[in-house]
Amino acid sequence: MTTRIERLRVGPIGENAYTVETGGAGFLVDPGDDADAILRFIADKGIAVSWIVLTHGHLDHTAAIPALLAAWVGSPPGIAIHAQDAHYLGARGEATNAALFDAIGAPGFFRGYWKGMPEAGLLLADGDLIPGTAFRVIHTPGHSAGSICLYEAESASLISGDTLFRDGVGRTDGPDCDPSALQASLARLAALPPETAVYPGHGPRTTIGRELSF
């Protein structure tokens, strides 16, 4: 099975959106901004996207969803997120995101980007597979309570969201952050093979061995 992961950098703070094609299935990860650019990117890559998978619910990783779904040709993809971050979407999404961006001193970002979000169509839990793929959910709380990474063993690939970056980790000053939980999540990721390619939510690709060799 061949897995292809492609990155598109979007938004004013450089979020990474990813398209993933594996075993004939396709999904989109963390569409944080620039819906038109994301749609062109998907078309250029020729990927049939069945799911939008969110590594966490923060608005800088989800803001393009309303425009994407409004412009989608054909049946729109479902939205998948960990159950503990589902309140960033749907009826509770506005209040949840407003509280987060107020807490981190960025209310202007929220006001500039918020649009009503649909509810999630699939609530993920640790160990679940993204439908039609071998990407398994690793629940990695810390940056948010429902942060996840997506791991495929055969290709040694990890999509890490804001849990792990090149030369850094996600911030832990939000309302549902937990520094101790983040350290436990990083220790769990450190058990993956050191050659595992890490595709983070911001910044360039790295490896588990480079970031988490103790």
Ordered by start, the domain boundaries in the chain are 3-211
| Distance (Å, whole) CA 3 – CA 23 | 7
Closest by CA position to 211, among listed 171, 172, 162, 166 = 166
| Distance (Å, whole) CA 210 – CA 196 | 10
Q: Does domain 3-211 have CATH number 3.60.15.10?
A: yes
101-124 average pLDDT score:
95
Residues 6+ apart with CB under 8 A from 113: 33, 59, 60, 63
Q: What is the pTM of this model?
A: 0.97
> How buried is residue 131: exposed, middle or buried, by Cβ count under 10 Å (0-12/13-18/19+)?
middle
pLDDT tens-digit map of 172-212: 999 999 999 999 999 999 999 999 999 999 999 999 999 99
Measured in whole angstroms, how far is the alpha carbon of residue 112 from the centre of its chain? 20
pLDDT tens-digit map of 121-130: 999 999 999 9
Quote the Cα angle for 139-60-76, to 5°: 80
| Distance (Å, whole) CA 30 – CA 51 | 11
